Amino acid sequence: MRNTADVVIIGGGIVGASVAYHLAAAGCTNVVVVERAAQVGAGSTGQATGGARAQFATPINIRMSRYSIDFFARFEEATGHTAGYRPNGYLFLATSKQHLVYLKETGEQQWAEGLINVEHLSTAEIARLVPQLRVDDVLGGAFGPTDGLLSPVSALRGFLGRARESGVELWAGTEVTAIDVDGGSVAGVTTSRGRIATRAVVNAAGAWAAQVARLAGVELPVTPLRRQLVGVRASVEFAPDLPMVIDMATGFHFRPHTQENIATRDLLLAWPDPDETPDDDTTFEPAFIPKFLKVANKRVPCLAGAKVDPASCRAGLYEMTPDRHAIIGEAPGVGGFFLANGFSGHGVMHSPATGRAISDLILHGESRLIDISPLGLERFTTGRLLAETSVL
């Protein structure tokens, strides 16, 4: 067990694991990942839906996604493990002129960022792609064929597995209780298993990032927000290449539950309940099911005969920021304290780009692949917030 390390990563979720992987891939293996739960993936990563899309509105989110999706497509080659990535695509359904304008404008932004394969579909094309949808009110949509689905926990294990094979240590069942700051720079962390002296600490604590940042005297505008998922077995089969489908009017979205490339009746349904308020409660609320199915059945009428699978119903936490963009960079005023936080529900899909950016920052003092300066914490004091109008 090390008592000094080049880097300590707080949080054994997919973001911490990706940082560990990218550091190790660059030759930095004197690294400890500290996770307070007995097993990794106990936070939001273990609850996530597993969608990855590049169809965003802002250049920075599109860039983060493009790097990350390319990475997921070659995950096995890079890590020797599988993330189960399937490029089934993301299908956005527009039911108002406003939605169509949004898809057109974001499509232009995506094109400008090099994402040139998003197709704008007619109602008839949408009905052919997913015949189970009710489309009488659908005006059109957008389909991104390289967006897709993965298994968040497999990806986490792949990142961490490869990092540990290279020498990175995992301290599971260990909580970070203090961060020592000396002369404006990080000097070490105190954990429930002892102290580790280090000059670089990564906050990868997900929905709990604000509490961890406070240990270093940094105020982080990250608040937890519950999201609930419902697993169902439908009365009809859906095609093996069923995309993630998003109803822009309600935010209701669904995917095939299985990672196998087979026709399936098993679906995972998600919906951002507008009544949810910031809180770290992760209890799944059974009353959510009928409330949610009312919304879902309207878009997918055959779900009226679906059987709910209680074992796959679950709740987890989004880690929200005021502008719904991540906070990535070195904390102003605390040298060596690196933030990889506030993904606002996109931490799985953006984990490869985040890991690469943080690794570059630690090892080279700059992010070499993606300019992450728009994601700095400073934006909340300078008022240079980002505007992501995306619906999920």
Ligand X SMILES: Cc1cc2nc3c(=O)[nH]c(=O)nc-3n(C[C@H](O)[C@H](O)[C@H](O)COP(=O)(O)OP(=O)(O)OC[C@H]3O[C@@H](n4cnc5c(N)ncnc54)[C@H](O)[C@@H]3O)c2cc1C
Residue 11 region by backbone torsions, left for phi larger than 0, else alpha for psi between -120 and 50, else beta: left
Among 49, 95, 106, 390, binds ligand X (CB under 6 A): 49
390 scored as a contact of ligand X (CB under 6 A)? no
> Which 14-33 residues touch ligand X, going by CB under 6 A?
14-16
Cα distances from 133 to residues 12, 102, 130, 142, in angstroms, run 38, 21, 6, 15
Q: Which residue has the tokens 């993606």?
A: 370
267 scored as a contact of ligand X (CB under 6 A)? no
Q: Given the complex with ligand X, which of 11 and 141 has the nearer CB atom?
A: 11
Torsion of CA 249, 255, 257, 259, to 10 degrees: -160
> Which 57-116 residues touch ligand X, going by CB under 6 A?
none
Q: Given the complex with ligand X, which of 241 and 276 has the nearer CB atom?
A: 276
> Which 123-142 residues touch ligand X, going by CB under 6 A?
none
Residue 121's identity, in one-letter code, is L
Q: Which residue has the tokens 């996770």?
A: 35
Question: What spatial distance separates the first Cα and last Cα of the chain, rounded to whole Å?
Answer: 42
Strands (E), 239-392: 244-247, 253-256, 264-270, 307-308, 314-320, 327-330, 337-341
Among 44, 79, 110, 359, binds ligand X (CB under 6 A): 44
Cβ of residue 383: shortest distance to ligand X, in angstroms? 25
Say if residue 295 is exposed, middle or buried (CB neighbours under 10 Å; 0-12, 13-18, 19+).
middle
Stretch of 10-18, 84-92, 108-116, 302-310 lying at the interface with ligand X (CB under 6 A): 10-18
What is the number of residues in the chain? 392
Cβ of residue 198: shortest distance to ligand X, in angstroms? 14
43 scored as a contact of ligand X (CB under 6 A)? yes
Interface pattern 227-266 for ligand X (x via CB under 6 A): x-x-------------------------------------
31 Cβ partners below 8 Å, 6+ apart?
Answer: 5, 6, 7, 8, 9, 20, 23, 24, 163, 168, 169
Cβ of residue 136: shortest distance to ligand X, in angstroms? 28
Closest CA to 345 of 364, 324, 362, 366: 324
Q: Given the complex with ligand X, which of 130 and 204 has the nearer CB atom?
A: 204
Stretch of 25-33, 37-45, 108-116, 233-241 lying at the interface with ligand X (CB under 6 A): 37-45
Among 21, 23, 36, 313, binds ligand X (CB under 6 A): 36
Residue 246's identity, in one-letter code, is I
101 Cβ partners below 8 Å, 6+ apart?
Answer: none
Closest CA to 316 of 282, 348, 350: 282
175 scored as a contact of ligand X (CB under 6 A)? yes
Among 84, 141, 158, 316, binds ligand X (CB under 6 A): 316
Among 343, 359, 372, 374, binds ligand X (CB under 6 A): 343
Q: Given the complex with ligand X, which of 48 and 201 has the nearer CB atom?
A: 48
Contact 141, 92 (CB under 8 A): yes
Cβ of residue 341: shortest distance to ligand X, in angstroms? 7
Give how many residues touch ligand X by CB under 6 A.
40
Output the six-digit token pair for 49.
């839906």
Among 204, 248, 303, 328, binds ligand X (CB under 6 A): 204
Q: Given the complex with ligand X, which of 134 and 284 has the nearer CB atom?
A: 284
Q: Which residues bind ligand X (CB under 6 A)?
A: 10-16, 34-37, 42-45, 47-51, 175-176, 204-208, 212, 227, 229, 316-319, 343, 345-349
